[in-house]
Amino acid sequence: MKQITIRISDPELEEALVRKAKESGKSLNKVVLELVRAGAGSPGGGKKRTPRGASLAELAGGWTAQEAKEFEEAIRIFEEIDEEMWK
């Protein structure tokens, strides 16, 4: 992977890039790379990558409040301890 140094002599441009990075919660490097890709028409320029582990996003935490309540009620019996069984 090659490294490229970009010198920004325009204070307004620098300020805009830093502001965009802060607002998006991304590093300055990442923001600049995204803008360069988009400007160059490079594949993935406007395309967002799927975060690692997101393939299970539809399954994890996907219950409605009613479904969660029903599940909690269904497993409540497993919280009971039969003291006689443990003697």
Indicate if the pLDDT at residue 78 is higher than 70.
yes
The Cα-based distances of 17 to 6, 32, 58, 83 in angstroms read 13, 7, 34, 65
* Residue carrying the six token digits 């320029």: 45
Indicate if the pLDDT at residue 76 is higher than 70.
yes
Q: What is the pLDDT of residue 75?
A: 94
The pLDDT tens digits of the residues spanning 7-20 come to 989 999 999 999 99
Q: What is the pLDDT of residue 55?
A: 63
The string of DSSP codes covering 47-59 is PPPPPTTGGGTTT
E-assigned strands of 1-87? none
The Cα-based distances of 7 to 14, 16, 82 in angstroms read 10, 15, 72
The pLDDT tens digits of the residues spanning 31-66 come to 999 999 888 888 765 556 666 666 666 666 677 889
Residue 11 near residue 22 (C-beta atoms within 8 A): no
Query: Residue range 55-78: average pLDDT?
Result: 82
